[in-house]
A and B are shown apart, each in its own frame.
Chain A
Amino acid sequence: MITSHQLKNGLTILVEEMSHVESASYDLMLPGGFICDPADRIGAGLILGELIGRGAGPLNSRQLSDAFDDLGIRHGEGVGSDRYAMSGSLVSDSLPRALELLSWMVREPHLPEEEIPNIQSVLLQDIDSLSDNPARRCMVELSRRYYPAPYNRPSLGEADGIKKTDRETIQSLWKRMFSPRKAILSVAGKVTAADVIQRVERLFGDWEGEEVSIPAFGALPKNEYFHIDFDSSQMQIVLAAPSVLFNQEGYYSGKLAVSILGASMFGRLFVEVREKRGLCYSVYARHGSTTSYGTVTAYVGTTPERAQESLDVLLRELNGLKSTISAEELDRARTNLKASLIMGEESPGARAGSNAQDWWLLGRIRPLSEINAEIDKVTVASVDEFLSRFPFSPCSVLTLGKHKLSVPTGLIG
Chain B
Amino acid sequence: MAHKVHKEVLPNGLTILAESNPANVSAGIGFFVRTGARDESDRESGVSHFLEHMMFKGTPTRSALDINLELGNLGAQANAFTSEENTVYYATVIPEKFKAMQELLSDMMRPALDPEEFSMEKKVILEEIALYRDRPHFYLFERAFKDYFGAHPAGNSVLGSDESISAVTRDEMKAYFDRRYSPSNMVLVGSGNFSLDEFVADAQKLCGSWENFPVTRDVPRHHGSSTYKEYRRKTLSHSHAVLLAQGPGAQDDERYALSILSNILGDSSGSKMYWELIDKGLADSASVDSDERDGTGCLMVYVSTTPSKLDDVVKTARSIVSSPLDFSDADLERAKAKIVSRIVLDGELPMGRLMSLGMEWTYRKTITPLSDIISRVRSVSRSDIQRALSQYPMTDWSEYRLLPE
Q: Is B175 an interface residue (CB 8 A)?
A: no
Structural contact, B337 and A71, CB atoms closer than 8 A: yes
Structural contact, A265 and B78, CB atoms closer than 8 A: yes
- Chain A residues within an 8 Å CB radius of B339: 72
Q: Is A70 an interface residue (CB 8 A)?
A: yes
Given contacts A74-B345, A281-B128, A339-B75, contact A132 B337 (CB under 8 A): no
Known: A70-B333, A71-B337, A277-B120. 14 other contacts (CB 8 A): A68-B269, A118-B279, A121-B282, A125-B305, A128-B306, A233-B133, A265-B78, A274-B124, A276-B120, A278-B121, A335-B72, A339-B76, A346-B24, A347-B348
Distance A271 CA – B128 CA, assembled complex (angstroms): 17
Residue on B nearest A54 in the bound complex, by CB: B279
Distance A118 CA – B23 CA, assembled complex (angstroms): 46
Q: How many Å from the CB of A259 to the closest CB on chain B?
A: 9
Structural contact, B75 and A336, CB atoms closer than 8 A: yes
Residue on A nearest B67 in the bound complex, by CB: A265
Residue on A nearest B338 in the bound complex, by CB: A72
Q: Is B398 an interface residue (CB 8 A)?
A: no
Q: Is A270 an interface residue (CB 8 A)?
A: yes
Given contacts A61-B279, A128-B306, A347-B349, contact A231 B75 (CB under 8 A): no
- Chain A residues within an 8 Å CB radius of B78: 265
Given contacts A23-B348, A132-B237, contact A90 B341 (CB under 8 A): yes
Structural contact, A230 and B281, CB atoms closer than 8 A: no
Q: Is B373 an interface residue (CB 8 A)?
A: no
Q: How many Å from the CB of A370 to the closest CB on chain B?
A: 18
Q: Name the one of B56, B71, B127 contacting A302, with C-beta atoms under 8 angstroms.
A: B127
A-B contact pairs, 28 of them (CB 8 A): A20-B24, A23-B345, A66-B270, A69-B334, A69-B338, A72-B337, A72-B338, A72-B340, A72-B342, A89-B345, A118-B280, A129-B237, A132-B137, A265-B68, A265-B71, A266-B69, A266-B71, A275-B68, A278-B124, A280-B124, A281-B124, A281-B125, A303-B127, A332-B69, A336-B72, A342-B25, A346-B349, A346-B350
Q: How many Å from the CB of A378 to the closest CB on chain B?
A: 15
Task: Write out, one digit per residue, whether chain A residues 190-201 have a CB within 8 A of any chain B CB (1) or not (0).
Answer: 000000000000
Q: Is B65 an interface residue (CB 8 A)?
A: yes
Distance A230 CA – B235 CA, assembled complex (angstroms): 9
Give 10 nearest A-B pairs by CB, closest first: A339-B75, A72-B341, A266-B72, A278-B123, A121-B281, A118-B281, A20-B23, A72-B337, A233-B130, A281-B128
Q: Is B260 an interface residue (CB 8 A)?
A: no
Distance A132 CA – B134 CA, assembled complex (angstroms): 7
Structural contact, A233 and B131, CB atoms closer than 8 A: yes
Given contacts A126-B284, A128-B306, A275-B64, contact A332 B122 (CB under 8 A): no
Q: How many Å from the CB of B399 to the closest CB on chain A?
A: 20
- Chain B residues within an 8 Å CB radius of A279: 123, 127
Q: Is B182 an interface residue (CB 8 A)?
A: no
Structural contact, B127 and A91, CB atoms closer than 8 A: no
Q: How many residues of B contact A (CB 8 A)?
A: 72
Chain A 100-131 residues near chain B, CB threshold 8 A: 115, 117-122, 125-126, 128-131
Task: Write out, one digit per residue, whether chain B residues 49-76 have a CB within 8 A of any chain A CB (1) or not (0).
Answer: 0000000100000001100110111111
Given contacts A73-B341, A231-B235, A332-B69, contact A282 B131 (CB under 8 A): yes
- Chain A residues within an 8 Å CB radius of B173: none
Structural contact, A233 and B134, CB atoms closer than 8 A: yes
Q: Name the one of A61, A132, A346 contacting B26, with C-beta atoms under 8 angstroms.
A: A346
Structural contact, A74 and B349, CB atoms closer than 8 A: no
Distance A317 CA – B96 CA, assembled complex (angstroms): 33
Distance A303 CA – B73 CA, assembled complex (angstroms): 32
Given contacts A121-B282, A276-B120, A340-B77, contact A74 B275 (CB under 8 A): no
Distance A162 CA – B30 CA, assembled complex (angstroms): 46
Structural contact, B127 and A125, CB atoms closer than 8 A: no
- Chain B residues within an 8 Å CB radius of A122: 278, 281, 283-284
Q: How many residues of A contact B (CB 8 A)?
A: 72
Distance A68 CA – B75 CA, assembled complex (angstroms): 37
What residues of chain A have their CB less than 8 Å away from a CB belonging to chain B? 20-23, 61-62, 65-66, 68-74, 89-91, 115, 117-122, 125-126, 128-135, 230-234, 263, 265-266, 270-271, 274-282, 301-303, 331-333, 335-336, 338-340, 342-343, 345-349
Distance A297 CA – B56 CA, assembled complex (angstroms): 26
- Chain A residues within an 8 Å CB radius of B337: 69-72
- Chain A residues within an 8 Å CB radius of B123: 277-279
Distance A91 CA – B75 CA, assembled complex (angstroms): 31
Given contacts A125-B306, A276-B120, A303-B127, contact A120 B281 (CB under 8 A): yes
Q: Is B205 an interface residue (CB 8 A)?
A: no
Task: Write out, one digit per residue, whether chain B residues 74-107 have a CB within 8 A of any chain A CB (1) or not (0).
Answer: 1111100000000000001110010000000000
Q: How many Å from the CB of A337 to the closest CB on chain B?
A: 8
- Chain B residues within an 8 Å CB radius of A128: 237-238, 306
Q: Name the one of A66, A271, A346 contacting B68, with C-beta atoms under 8 angstroms.
A: A271
Q: Is B330 an interface residue (CB 8 A)?
A: yes
Structural contact, B25 and A343, CB atoms closer than 8 A: yes
Highest count of chain B CB atoms <10 Å: which of A21, A61, A276, A349: A21
Distance A276 CA – B116 CA, assembled complex (angstroms): 10
Distance A22 CA – B238 CA, assembled complex (angstroms): 41
- Chain A residues within an 8 Å CB radius of B238: 125, 128-129, 132
Distance A119 CA – B94 CA, assembled complex (angstroms): 43
- Chain B residues within an 8 Å CB radius of A276: 120
Q: Name the one of B65, B282, B349 contacting A275, with C-beta atoms under 8 angstroms.
A: B65
Given contacts A66-B270, A126-B284, A231-B235, contact A132 B135 (CB under 8 A): yes
- Chain A residues within an 8 Å CB radius of B340: 72, 91
Distance A92 CA – B94 CA, assembled complex (angstroms): 26
